[in-house]
Amino acid sequence: MVCYHFGPFELDVEKGELRKHGLRIRIQNQPFQVLRTLMERADQVVCRDDLRQAVWADQTFGDFEHGLNAAMNKLRRALGDSAENPRYIETVAGRGYRFIGTVKNPQTPISSPSGMTAALDGLPVATTPRRMLSRLTAWIALAAGATAFGTWGLMALLTARHSEITRPVVQFIFSPPPGTVFAPPISRQPFAISPDGMRLAFTATGPHGSSVWVRELASLDMHAVPGTDGAWAVFWSPDSRSIFYSVKRILKQANLQSGSTRSVATLPYLVSSGGWRSNGDLVVYLGHLNAWELDVENGSLRRLPSGDLRLPQFLPHSDRVLHVVDDPASGRWRAQVTDYASGKSTTLMETDSRVQYAPPLRRGEPGKLLYLRGGSLLVQPFDVEKLHPVGEPFPILQNVIYFGPGASACYSVSDNGVLVYQAGWPLSELKWYDRTGHAVGTVGQPAPYVGAVRISPDGRQVAATIWTAETGRPDIWIFAADGRESRRLTYPPGAHSRPVWSPNGDRLAFGGSRTGPPKLAFLENAEAGKEQPLLNEMSLGQAARLSQIELPTDWSPDGRFIAFDTGLGEEEQEMWLADTAHGSIAPVLHGESAQWGSVFSLDGRSIAFISMESGRPEVYVQAFDSKPSPRLVGKKRQVSREGAWIVRWRPDGREIFYVGIDNWLHAAPVEANLQVGDPMPLFRIEGNTQYGTTSDFQFDATRDGQRFIMSTTGSVAPPPFTVIQNWQEKFRR
């Protein structure tokens, strides 16, 4: 039998399978056959006609052209490859394609672990030692296991970490609360299992904002924790009695035994994660090169001289901290253990996410490091005393959700053998709606849309952001407005989001980054366009010192200015402008209140934006003058009445549209001299509100204001949590 090995992949010709790290990746037959044909002639140019004869021999030329382009896009997505910077498949202009990866051809393929087939919308299925259970049987087994587990009691399962008694493996799933939406794990830890494995704490966003919820694993009880409104990231105290969570710049504590909450400290930036020292002090990570030590009893703070402690976890009974750092050479994160006192570091491995240590459950066995590579959750046996890997890593799960630029990931492990994870980014659609809210068309196919969407100035194209599961990063796609054609505009290794069209539609600005905060860049609206930074060296240094993100919101009609946000939602946002003529940046709106989402009027002489100055977000408009330096002038006028969080100026300037915090789309007429009439509700957007989430939901309107385009991300249920008790036994090798 023939099985080609290249990088982490295997192409098993006899079984018709593509595997990564031993786990099957589900791709369609045509992309598979294209890859097979290229690999059979590795390092040779395979012309398009040869591919037609091999894969599309019985189809018309038009079907072949469309089919080959679609198959190549799907194949590159499966491999995490790009046409611009190919690792495996090179496009030879005017001729065809060539496989350029290093190929090995052993006689016996490595088998995929049973039950680990990857699917975009699937989860691993429970297995028996003798055969794979059918889907129905698997669900019955899981339900029965969960029931038996609840009856038998969690305490019996979770006692004696080093017990020599083989404990049963129990696996079950549960869904987040009804009426909540999926919020991507962008630079934060959205859930955590308690160290004793008894409870899961997670953030959930519903109609009234986000809060912390707790699920008792020994029962069906799931409840919101009072006083946790606005929670961002969440982690546990070492004794599993309290939850620590961040709300804007304030770190708070919720004591689950007493039911009380308190503010622990106010920090310079938003807390994204934390780790506990052996003396009880807390080390919190606030973002790029920014870490602080905190005494949780008195709230005293000390900034650490070396702030490169991203997503810290202190190893048991020591002051050695496990964390990740940026590795520019590999284009990935690098896991390392750093001695907290001396600062001396031991390098471990490359990773696409944070790394967690799990103590051994049997005496004499090594501990385990868990981390992600390309969406696959890997386990590396690890000698915690010598800080040395033991043997080779092996995969246990696939398609786990993660955010590559921030190294955050949707999995968590306890100290005694409980693993919780979320897999499969939810699929949504891009839809056109009329002014009554009726869907009148669809653009493209269902995909993991992130939310941002913009219509080109001529109305013929739509730019949207789609999540790439393999890289844990968003990329920008271009669709024909009628939905008949699509193409990918950006490729790894960077993340690309929030596209904004130039006035003539020849370029798109966006926020781009490989690691760390997104920075302004632009790209020609062409197949092989090259990404270019927008800022000069001085402005790049200024942005780096501010550690701010740069997400564009609009491009001025004269092409000179790009307005951009410095955060998501209410989190420390200011309105800034980038001057494309000089590559400089400057704040236009900043102060005590957050403001965001700025858009220019048709003549470029006014700006509409969202501000929190009244205590809740509302739409305002104000005159704009670019000379001698860009600034807002004159009286500021409020447009919305009952709260708003997204604003768009109709392209012909005759209306202002906005989404209220009640999820209704409103329209306000605009007359001469910046006179704005009373807003009128048009329709309620499908699904739940996404205000205050990391989904970055957006909408856009046609020039005549008769149609609107947006994603259905608010109508899609979040992926369920999968809980595995005694996971080390389930995946024992």
**Is the per-residue pLDDT at 159 higher than 50?**
no
Distance, in Å, from the CA atom of 267 to the CA atom of 274, rounded to the nearest integer, reads: 13
For tokens 């991203």, what's the residue?
Answer: 310
Note the pLDDT of residue 690.
85
**Contact yes or no for 598/563 (Cβ under 8 A):** yes
pTM: 0.76
The whole-number pLDDT of residue 717 equals 84
% of the chain at pLDDT higher than 90 = 46
Residue 340 has a pLDDT of 92
Q: What amino acid occupies position 349?
A: M
pLDDT at 283 > cutoff 60: yes
Q: How confident is the model at residue 126 (pLDDT cuts 50, 70, 90)?
A: very low
Cα angle at 272 between 371 and 172, to 5 degrees?
50
Residue of 130 and 687 predicted with greater confidence: 687
Q: What is the pLDDT of residue 470?
A: 83
Q: State the pLDDT at residue 62.
A: 60
Over range 379-391, report the average pLDDT.
Answer: 95
Multiple choice CATH, 3-99, 1.10.10.10, 3.40.50.300, 3.30.70.2740, 1.10.10.920: 1.10.10.10
- What are 289-310's pLDDT values in tens digits? 788 999 998 889 999 887 788 9
315, pLDDT greater than 50? yes
18 CB-side CA count, 13 A: 23
DSSP string, 490-529: --TTSEEEEEEE-TTSSEEEEEEESSSS-EEEEEESSTT-
> What is the reported pLDDT for 276?
93
pLDDT, residue 384, reads: 95
DSSP string, 148-181: HHHHH-HHHHHS-TT--SPPPPEEEEEPPPTT-B
What is the 8-class DSSP label of residue 590? -
pLDDT, tens digit, for every residue of 493-546? 788 899 999 999 999 999 888 777 788 888 887 765 667 777 766 666 666 555
Residue 151, pLDDT score: 37
- The 8-class DSSP code of residue 630 comes to -
Residue 399's nearest CA partner among 421, 379, 418, 419 is 421
Q: What is the average pLDDT score of the chain?
A: 84
Q: For 714, which DSSP code?
A: G
What pLDDT does 538 receive? 62
- Model confidence band, residue 667 (pLDDT cutoffs 50, 70, 90): very high
What was the pLDDT predicted at 568?
60
- Comparing 415 with 331, the larger pLDDT belongs to 415
pLDDT class for 627, splitting at 50, 70, 90? confident
DSSP secondary structure, 408-445, as one string? EESEEE-TTSEEEE-BSPPPEEEEEEETTS-EEEEEEE
pLDDT for residue 131: 33
Same fold, 3-99 and 428-715: no
Over the stretch 71-93, which tens digit does the pLDDT of each residue have?
888 888 888 787 766 888 888 87
Residue that wins the pLDDT comparison between 132 and 48: 48
Question: Considering only the top CATH level, what class is 175-423+718-730?
Answer: mainly beta
Closest CA to 369 of 379, 354, 360: 379
Q: Count of alpha carbons within 13 Å of 183, Cβ hemisphere only?
A: 29
Report the share of the chain in percent with pLDDT over 70: 86
Reported as a pLDDT band with limits 50, 70 and 90, residue 57 is: confident
The answer for residues whose C-beta is within 8 angstroms of residue 117's C-beta and 6 or more apart is 23, 24, 26, 124, 125
Amino acid at 564: F
pLDDT tens digits, one per residue of 162-187: 445 567 899 999 999 988 888 888 87
* Domain 428-715 falls under CATH 3.40.50.980: no
Q: What are the extents of the domains in the chain?
A: 3-99, 175-423+718-730, 428-715
pLDDT in tens, 573-601: 678 899 988 888 888 877 678 889 999 99
Q: Note the pLDDT of residue 141.
A: 40
pLDDT of residue 449: 92
H-run or E-run covering 251: strand 250-255
Q: Could you read off the pLDDT of 222-245 as tens digits, one per residue?
A: 999 998 988 888 999 999 999 999
Q: Which of 16-20, 274-278, 525-529, 534-538 has the highest mean pLDDT?
A: 274-278
| Beta-bridge partner residues of 338 | 321, 345
Q: Rounded distance, CA 111 to CA 118, Å?
A: 14
Phi/psi at 544 (nearest 5 deg)?
A: -65, -40
Tens-place pLDDT, residues 440-482:
999 998 999 987 899 999 999 999 999 988 888 899 999 999 8
- Determine the 3-state secondary structure of 537 from DSSP: helix
